[in-house]
Amino acid sequence: MKLAILGFGREGKSVLNFLRKSKTLRGDEIFILDKNPNIKIPKSVHAITGKNCLKHLRGIDVVFRSPGIPYNLPELQRARKTGVLFSSATKLFFGAISHESIVNSHLLVIGITGTKGKGTTATILYNILKNAGEDVFLAGNIGIPALDLIPKIESRVTNRKSVVKSHKSVFVILELSSFQLQDLEVSPSIAVVTDVFPDHQDSHKNLAEYYNAKTRIARYQKKTDSVFFMANNAMSRQIASKSKGRKIAVDEKTFSLFSEKDLKIRGDHNFKNAAMAATVAKNLGVATRVIVESVKKFAGTEHRLEFVRRIGGVEFYNDSASTNPHTTAAAIRAFATSDKRQVNDNPKKRGALTNSLILIAGGQDKNLDYAPLAQALKKSNTKLVVLMGENRSKIARTIKGQTTRTEEQGIKIMFAKNLKDAISKSYEVALSLIASHLSPVVIFSPGATSFDMFRNYAERGKEFKKTIENL
């Protein structure tokens, strides 16, 4: 057989490692196809790199597609018509854990998807289960590649056979993107669906395809399975409705184990994520005390409204993981109203806007509407928006079209040539706000992908933090 790995990033390398160790999938030849001509590829496999690498799919028996490669590229569609089979790291993982010895070992896979919030929800749930003394792994789109867990799971299974507590479960929490779910034909026994809204219209052919990919997390569930969903998000409800299993709604308005002011992380969106993780943990039998303590200690994940530094009176937050206007809107709302941590202790501050916001946004467009971002700005105390990247003009037009505040109250818009220039302009205005006895907060929440200037959102976020540390 001829096997090909399409895209040699984090998951592609994991697939290669898995194939080399597999007794059933070991092929006569393994090819690596990647558009990056400079990528380092082991000498033991065949390398086909460069912009024309997709032209070499003919004659391959099975292609393992990495999540970053759109499912419906014309070259991939033509290859399918000629009989080429497509798989993925996620498919390989679910196939590997379907082995009888693993199925009978009380392995529970918790799959988490959503447009945003899945990483935070997954991490909080991981912390809760870990603090409860459970045997738990975090993998998928966050943590380590799922395939890398197989040897560890098999080791746990072997050890469990000889111990008294063999009834205790092993939990695997998988954060799953639409690209990982798109061709999956199996669902995790526990599915979690956070808020879902339009995204990735640069990679999916339309919204229907994007939403359809998300439904696969619940579509193949059995009656004995469970799906948790956001009660107040229409698409989250619709995805959950595809499941044959038990459907559990999470309503942040009636949730009572803890309140938003108990959290170290900001924003009502993060409260919803914490409430989701807590509800799943509670249904798994974790004690309320452990859940509440874990949530209160959680300080957030990197690049997601991450506090970077306070310089004088200026606070800087890194929200580079925001690649969607809805998530930037959520970041704005997290600071737009009175700081609840202060207001609850000082009734005189109720109703006051305690922060003056400066937003840095922009990047590569995903064919999305920036109206949600503009609407959030209208209801905030934002003084300046600094825009950079390929879509800066598009965002500026949307803000100007949606914002109706007077010139005296209005939001100033500046363009920057790059991230360092955007930070410089923001800091200069922030210092002037301090001189006017205001409390400026600079939020880097792009609302767009990073590929016009950086390899990924993580590299972009690290560059932001490095620049701030050097101010």
> At residue 356, what are phi and psi to the nearest 5 degrees?
-105, 120
The pLDDT tens digits along the chain (471 residues) read 899 999 999 999 999 999 988 866 665 789 999 999 999 999 889 999 999 999 999 889 999 999 888 888 899 999 999 999 999 999 999 999 886 556 556 789 999 999 888 999 999 999 999 999 999 999 988 878 999 999 888 887 666 554 444 457 889 999 999 989 998 999 999 999 999 987 776 677 788 888 999 999 999 999 999 999 999 999 999 999 999 999 999 999 999 999 999 999 999 999 999 999 999 999 999 999 999 999 999 999 899 999 999 998 999 999 999 999 999 999 999 987 544 444 343 434 433 445 799 999 999 998 889 999 999 998 899 999 999 999 999 999 999 887 555 344 578 999 999 999 999 999 999 999 998 888 999 999 999 999 899 989 999 999 999 999 999
pLDDT value, residue 187: 96
Q: Flag whether the pTM goes above 0.75.
A: yes
> CB-based contacts of 74: which residues, under 8 Å, 6+ apart?
none
288, two tokens = 């309320």
25, two tokens = 């999938």
Hey, CA dihedral for 446, 272, 338, 439, is it positive or negative? negative
96, two tokens = 């590997």
Q: Count the neighbouring beta carbons within 10 Å of the beta carbon of residue 50.
A: 15
Q: Residue 447 annotated as binding?
A: no
Hey, CA dihedral for 95, 99, 100, 106, is it positive or negative? negative
End-to-end CA distance of the chain, in Å? 56
Q: Is 383 left (phi over 0), alpha (psi -120 to 50) or beta?
A: alpha
pLDDT value, residue 100: 52
Q: Count the neighbouring beta carbons within 10 Å of the beta carbon of residue 155.
A: 10
Question: DSSP letter at 182?
Answer: T
Instruction: Indicate the helix (H) or strand (E) that contains 166.
Output: none
pLDDT value, residue 102: 60
CA gap 438, 354 in Å, rounded: 8
Q: Residue 118 annotated as binding?
A: yes
Q: Residue 288 annotated as binding?
A: no
CA gap 194, 123 in Å, rounded: 13
CA gap 148, 127 in Å, rounded: 20
pLDDT value, residue 160: 59
pLDDT value, residue 24: 64
pLDDT value, residue 143: 75
Q: What is the torsion angle, in degrees rounded to the nearest 10, for the CA atoms of residue 175, residue 178, residue 181 and residue 182?
A: -170
Q: Residue 119 annotated as binding?
A: yes
Question: DSSP letter at 470?
Answer: T
Q: Residue 394 annotated as binding?
A: no
42, two tokens = 């082991």
Q: Which of 362, 191, 353 is nearest to 276 (CA)?
A: 191
- Identify each DSSP E strand in 261-396 by its residue range: 306-311, 314-318, 356-361, 382-387
Q: What domains does the chain contain, in order, with CATH numbers?
A: 2-87 (3.40.50.720), 93-297 (3.40.1190.10), 306-469 (3.90.190.20)
pLDDT value, residue 352: 41
pLDDT value, residue 25: 61
**Would you say 418 and 386 are in contact if contact means Cβ atoms under 8 Å apart?**
no
